[in-house]
A and B are shown apart, each in its own frame.
Chain A
Amino acid sequence: MMTEYPRIVLPDIPDLHKIEVYKAHNGYQAAAKSLKMTPDEVINEVKASKLRGRGGACFPTGLKWSFMPKSTDKPKYLAVNGDESEPGSFKDRQIFEHNPHQLIEGILIAGYSMNLKAAYVYIRGEYHKWVKLFQDAVDEAYANGYVGEKMKSTFGTNFSMDIYVHKGAGAYICGEETSLMNSLEGDRGYPRFKPPFPAQVGLWQMPTTVNNVETIATIPPIMNMGGVEYAKIGAPGHPGTILFGVSGHVNKPGVYELPTGIPLKTLIYDICGGVPGNKKIKAVIPGGSSMPPLRGDEIEDVLMDEESLKKYGTHIGTAGVMVMDEDTDIVAVTLRIAHFYHHESCGQCTPCREGTGWMDKILKRLVAGEGSQKDVDLLLSICDNIEGNTICALGDAAAWPVRGFIQKFREEFEAKVKDTRVFVAPNVVHGKRLSHKDLVFKV
C-alpha cells in the first residue's frame, strides 16, 4: 500500500475551485482568523512555520514580509509571481485551476499582515486558460464579499484590499522579481539593479513584496494549523509540502504534492512509476532547468529538500524534476538549456548577453562533432565570467547548468570532441576582445 502524504495545497477534493465547495471545506476561515490577530502576530506565525519561498530561491517568507516598512503612508503592494517559465516547472498552474480560492485567501492574509493596498497576480501569457480560470475565481470572491470594500463587513474589520490579474506576454525574464515589476508598470521587462530592494522601492516606487503563487497558497493552511505544526511536516531545515512537477523519462509524469525531504528514488520509482522500459537513470535535474544536475549513480540517498540537495551541489529551485534515462544525449540537453537562456537574456549586461550567446554557439559546435578539446574548458571559463557579474540571476541560471553538466559528465563532452589538433588563441588581441569565432584556428 502506498503511504498517505499530507496534501494541503492541492487537497484531493472535487470541484474545490468553486467557491461554495471551498467554503464548505473551511474556506476563508484562515483569513477570518488572521484578520482577528494583529499583523505582527500573523507574520510571527509565518516565521514560526519556517516556510521558504517556492519561487526558486528558498527565501524565508516571514522574514521577507517583516522587511516591509510599517510606519508609512505610502501604498504598499504584493506582486504574486505566476510567471512560471522555468523549463520543467508546471506547478503553479495547478493552483490556478484546482485551488484558486486558497491563493486568494493567502493574498488576503499577506495583505493584512503587511497592510497592503492591492495585489497584482502576474500570470504568464501562455497560460491563457489559467488566466481566465483565476480571473473567474477572483470575480467570484469579489461577488461573495471576500475581496475589496465588501470584505470589511464580511470579516468585520477596517482592512480591505484589491486583487488584480495581469497577463504576461512571453518573456521568461519577467519571472525575475524586478523585471516583473517593470512589466507590470507597462515597460519592457528589464531587471532593475538591487539595492534598492522591492520592500523599499518596488512597484510604482512603493514598498512591494514579491512571492511565488505556491508560497502564498501555502499561507492559509499555515494559519489554520499554526506555524509550529506546519514546521513539523517534512525536512526540518526546509519544512512543509512542495508541489513536485516531474517530467521526462518517468512512467507517470505530473505534479505531486509531497513533504520536503522525500527520497528522490521514492518520488521517481514509487510515485512516478519508474523509468519507461526499466532503463537506468543517467541524470536528474532536481529543480528546473537552471539547477545543476545529479548523476544517476548518485541519487541513491538524495532527499528532496534544499539543505539536502545543497550537499550535492544543487538546489530545490522550483521543484521541477526532470528525469533522463541512460540513452539521453547529455551534451544535446546542455545545448538546449544554453540555447534557452541565450534566447531569454534581456541583453542589459555584457557577460550575460555575450556569454549565453557563446555558450550556445560552442555547444552547437560540440553537438555537431566539430568542437575542440579546449571548448570544454572555454565553456567553464565563460561560466566564471558570467557568475556574479550580472544585474539579475538569469546569468547564474544560465551558467549553473552548463558548469554542472560539464562537472558531472565531462566524459560525454570530451567524447564529442573532434579529433584534430586545435590552437586556441588568447581572447584579447591588441586590446580587442574577440568573439569566440575568431579564436579557433584549425591546424
Chain B
Amino acid sequence: MQIEFTTEELQEVQHHISKYPEKKAALMPVLWMAQKKWGWLSQDVMHYVGELLDLPASHVEGVATFYTMYFKKPMGKYHIQVCTNVSCMLLKGKELYDYTSNKLGLKHNERSEDGMFSLEEVECMGACGGAPMIAVNEDFYEYMNNQKVDEVLDNLK
C-alpha cells in the first residue's frame, strides 16, 4: 500500500502547520488525519508523518503511543466503546460492558475476524449525565441498556 496523502490532504497538513509557531505542534492534528485515512497508525504511517513534519520516527512513535485514541493496531470498522467509570458504573455500566463483550465475542481492545467490530472498555467520556453510555466511533449513545445496545449494534452493517 502506497502511504501518501493526496494533494488536497497535503494542503490541510500545511494549514495545520500554519496554526502553530513550530512545525512539531502540527503532529497531533496530522496523526488524526492519518488515522482517519488509514484506520490506524502503522510504523510506515508514523514514518511518513515524521518525514512530513521533519520529526524523527521515534518522536512520532513516542507521541502516538502516549495517547490512547491513536490506534497502534487495526481496529474494527465500528469501534465500540463502553464507559465503566463511576457515573456509568453506578448505573450498571460494567454490566453493560460485559453484555456488549459477550454479544460481540470480544474482549478489551480486540477486533472481530471480519474486521467489522472492535471493543474498548473506556474511561469517562464526559457523558456522565447520560450514563450509562457507549460510543460507536465518534458518536455517543446515552441512557443505554442491554436492549438499546442490541438496537444500536444490530443496525450497524
Seen from chain A, the residues whose Cβ lies within 8 Å of a Cβ on chain B are 75, 84-90, 93, 124-129, 164, 166-172, 183-189, 204, 245-249, 253-255, 285, 289, 320, 322, 324, 328, 332-333, 336-337, 340, 343-344
Contact = CB atoms under 8 A, between A and B. Distances in A.
Given A167-B28, A322-B87, A87 B124 contact: yes
Interface size class of B (residues with CB under 8 A): 35 or more
Contacts of A126: 69, 122, 125-126, 135
B125 A185 contact: no
A435 to B, nearest CB: 24
Nearest to A188: B66
Nearest to B123: A340
Interface of B: 19-22, 24-29, 31-32, 53, 55, 62-63, 66-70, 84-87, 89-91, 122-131, 135, 138-140
What are the 3 closest A-B residue pairs judged by CB atoms, nearest first? A170-B69, A169-B67, A247-B128
A255 B28 contact: no
Contacts of A255: 129
Given A129-B138, A167-B29, A185-B24, A85 B126 contact: yes
B62 to A, nearest CB: 6
A340 B68 CA distance: 14
A247 B68 contact: no
A155 to B, nearest CB: 23
A119 B140 CA distance: 28
B128 A322 contact: yes
Contact of B129 (A85, A90, A169, A285): A90
Contacts of A248: 86-87, 90-91, 128, 131
Nearest to A171: B67
Contacts of A172: 123
A126 B102 CA distance: 24
Nearest to B25: A186
A125 B67 contact: yes
Contacts of A324: 90
A169 B28 contact: yes
Contacts of A245: 128-129
Contact of B138 (A128, A246, A254): A128
B128 A125 contact: no
Contacts of A125: 32, 67, 69
Nearest to B67: A169
A126 B127 CA distance: 10
A250 B138 CA distance: 27
Contacts of B55: 186
B27 A88 contact: no
Contacts of A332: 89
Given A87-B85, A333-B86, 8 more contacts: A90-B129, A126-B122, A126-B125, A126-B126, A128-B138, A189-B66, A246-B129, A344-B123
B28 A247 contact: no
A328 B138 contact: no
A253 B131 contact: yes
A248 B31 CA distance: 35
B67 A168 contact: yes
A187 B61 CA distance: 11
A142 to B, nearest CB: 13
B135 A90 contact: no
Contacts of B125: 126
Contacts of B124: 85-89, 289, 340
Given A87-B128, A170-B68, A253-B129, A183 B86 contact: no
A184 to B, nearest CB: 6
Contact of A84 (B126, B130, B138, B140): B126
Given A85-B124, A186-B28, A75 B21 contact: yes
Contacts of A90: 126-129
Most chain B CB within a 10 A radius of its CB, from A187, A246, A344: A187
Contacts of A320: 128
A352 B62 CA distance: 21
A151 to B, nearest CB: 18
B28 A183 contact: yes
Contacts of B20: 164, 184-186
A94 B91 CA distance: 22
A186 B90 contact: no
Contact of B89 (A169, A246, A333): A333
Contacts of A93: 126
A75 B135 CA distance: 40
A169 B70 contact: yes
A166 B28 contact: yes
B92 to A, nearest CB: 12
Chain B CB within 10 Å, residue with most, of A85, A126, A183, A285: A126
A97 to B, nearest CB: 12
A246 B129 CA distance: 6
B63 A124 contact: no
Contacts of B70: 169-170
Contacts of B126: 84-85, 89-90, 93, 124, 126-127
Contact of A204 (B21, B69, B90): B21
A233 B114 CA distance: 58
B130 A87 contact: no
Contacts of A164: 19-20
Nearest to A86: B124
B86 A337 contact: yes
Contacts of B85: 87, 289, 336, 340
A186 B123 contact: no
